[in-house]
Amino acid sequence: MGCRYGVGKVAILGGYEGMAENFSEKTKNELARIIPKQRCCRIAELSAFYDFNGYLMGEDGRYLDINHSSPLVARKILNLVKGLFPTAHIQILVQRARSRKNQVCTVRVLRHDQAQGVHATLVKQQHRMGEPRILEKRCCRRAYVRGAFLSHGSVTNPERTYHLEIFTDKTEIANRVIETINSLQMAARMTTRKGNRVVYLKDGEQIVTLLNLMGAHSALLQLENIRIVKDVRNQVNRLVNCETANVDKTVQASMEQLDDIQVIQAHMDLRELSPKLYQIAKLRLKNPYASLMELGEMAVPSMSKSGVNYRIRQIHKLRQKLAPSFPSQD
């Protein structure tokens, strides 16, 4: 094999392993280390890299370039090309900007015949009948989506929200990506942002499924753990909010009942009430924050919640007779 390394061989092989990584970077670094076992899948993934960042350069396609900003992903592209085309003459180029994040790594296939051969292999894959943009084999579709995500994809930190997207300024490639993803029993959508076509998923469960299909199992587990914690937290919050609302409702009702009893006291002696009404009125005065069920349990003999509620309503009606200027609760 003829393989010439140009500028920046160390940068290609070094990578960013020592740098702090966010969730999207961790996911990509995990996927960048996957080399498909089957030749058809390696071709499919390499074709995604070519679709997003590949070019036949020079007059009559004298050489073929595939670019990427990540040295780790560029190394994967290099390994795919070397594995599929062991006799190809390959050159590695690194163009640096002031910021390392803006560097461009290029895997270049030299010689006209080899560049044309690589290109022909990438574009002549088997596609589904009547669907020229969708690869025939499911395993190849998974590999293609992985290459697309590594090329121009990102996934948001699931602690904030669920969002995975793949973008490109090429409408034809965006259509191929969304059709490929949806052929894997998902429901990706597409939008336009700053001149790019963006294919995206916002459903946490579907993002988990796609990460699994691409092979990002560590990222999948991390996302699932976060989903579980968020679901439990949301459930606890709902229960707390519900309980708080119930407590507020109970307290508000108790204050209204106390007001009824105090109005009646201002007009008559509570002992003039019937024994059952008198008992409930005294229990409420002594236990202003108790629920109706708790008042019923304190009564002798005990009463059901509906029995207590009936007597509370009778007290309120008496209050309305004694002080008709107050609005009715009925």
| 274, 243 Cβ separation under 8 angstroms | no
| Per-residue tens of pLDDT for the chain, all 330 residues | 444 333 333 233 333 333 335 899 999 999 999 999 999 999 999 999 999 999 888 766 688 999 999 999 999 999 999 999 999 898 888 887 665 567 889 999 988 889 999 999 998 888 887 888 899 999 999 999 999 999 999 999 888 889 999 999 999 999 999 999 999 999 999 999 999 999 999 998 999 999 999 999 999 888 888 878 877 777 888 878 887 777 778 788 888 888 889 888 888 888 888 988 889 989 988 898 888 888 889 998 988 999 999 999 999 998 988 877 545 444
| 171, 240 Cβ separation under 8 angstroms | no
Interatomic CA distance for residues 264 and 104, integer angstroms: 85
Who's near 136: CB < 8 A, 6+ residues apart? 125, 126, 127, 128
Q: Which amino acid is at 165?
A: E
pLDDT score of 5: 36
| Residue (of 90, 48, 84) closest to 68 by Cα position | 48
Interatomic CA distance for residues 47 and 147, integer angstroms: 8
State the CB neighbour count (10 A cutoff) for residue 325.
Answer: 5
Q: For the sheet containing 153-155, what is the strand order? A: 153-155, 164-168, 196-201, 189-193
- Please return the burial class of 124, using the count of CB atoms within 10 Å of its CB with bins 0-12, 13-18 and 19+: exposed
pLDDT score of 196: 94
Distances (CA, A) of 206 to 52, 77, 180, 330: 23, 27, 14, 50
Name the one residue in this structure whose structure tokens are 């020592």.
18
pLDDT score of 265: 87
Cα Rg of the chain, angstroms = 35
Residue 16, token pair as written in the block: 């960013």
| Residue (of 65, 163, 170, 49) closest to 108 by Cα position | 65
pLDDT score of 211: 94
Interatomic CA distance for residues 176 and 328, integer angstroms: 67
Question: Exposed e or buried b for every residue in 261-270, given b needs 16+ CB within 10 A?
Answer: bebbeeeeee
pLDDT score of 272: 87
pTM metric for this prediction:
0.67
Interatomic CA distance for residues 261 and 289, integer angstroms: 15
| Residue (of 26, 72, 19, 31) closest to 222 by Cα position | 26
